[in-house]
Structure 1
Amino acid sequence: MEKNKLQAKDLINVGIFTAIYFILFFAGMMLGYIPIFIPLLGLVCPIICGIPFMLYLTKVKKFGMVTLSGIILGLLNMLIGSGVLVLIFGIVFGVAADLIMKSGKYKSWKFTLLGNGVFSLWIMGFVSRMFLTRTEFFDSLVSSYGQEYVDTLMSYTPGWMFPVLFVVTFLGGILGALLGKAVLKKHFEKAGIV
């Protein structure tokens, strides 16, 4: 049973790879300064983060590692002002992804691919504020970005876009996983993920 518990080495991997993921995610989020890119962040960010996250998943062999990444990403984004939804989504989709990958014993490519798509949905916690707390969210942007930016962003994000963005973000996670696996083929073979 002891081998199923998270060890110091596992926690170091969680810390290192989650930090790399966050830095790349944050860089991708900079595209949000251009309103047209906001709806595309769910597609772009998981692709950008795909390579390091796939490398991380070759080292994940125990339940809880992906969950911890989701929690840390949620907390970091909450601390920089992204609201509490991003933490809730980080927990929910971190646990869901962990459960999916665990059901493939962390060795199945099919479950790893699906797990990464699901994990990427934590990003929707960031985006959800535009739809679930619409008035407050857009009011808060006016002072920083100006009314023109806010009006443009509102026009790009009508209510029907909310479910579409879940699908787009999931697809971003799938594409990021495929890119990561292609780049890290040797690592996947070494980790025995088939």
Structure 2
Amino acid sequence: IEENGMSDMVGGVWFAGRSFLGLSKLLLGTDDYDEILELASKGKRNSVDTEVKDVIANDPNSPYGQFPPNLPIFSFGKVIDTDKKLSDLSREDLANSLVFSFAYNAFSQLALVAQTSKVSKLYMGGNFFRHELIRSEIVKTMRLFTGDAIAVNFVKTGHTGAIGAMISKPEDELKYLAFMQQAEQQPTQGASS
């Protein structure tokens, strides 16, 4: 939002809400948001995710060594590195890994948009961000990678889209539709004919 009140949609998180619930249903057997976050709050992702310390143990000169040892760098990476199967992992640990994966994905996309658009304040809304665990993961990761360069604010309402629709002007809708049409016309990498 500019000082003159004009606003533009500069991006969004496409891999969030329903994707999170869908993967949770496949991996955890539930798509209940509150249950997933309750499980995640009891879990530890270090039995599922590859962390910096795991990479450094195999390669002390890895460029990942500049990051905190407990930082997950490959979600679900230990599944590849070990003989673990889904049945070997606790629902709590899987849920914790999922939450971090989605929170980190949100951070990555939003930080990139903020930096390329020269935006210093991000406002996130919607039900996906309503739980403190997700918000704290995003803020912690944002501070690690961007310091205080980008301020993160959460709009605590599940009706953020409705509010945006209510205050937008008809030309805003046309900009959004043009943005979506342009996104649909982008060639898919790796697609075969």
**Is the TM-score greater than 0.5?**
no
| TM norm structure 2 | 0.29
Bigger relative contact order, structure 1 or 2, given CA contacts below 8 A and separation 6+? 1
More strand by share: 2
Q: Hey, which of these two has a bigger chunk of helix by percent?
A: 1
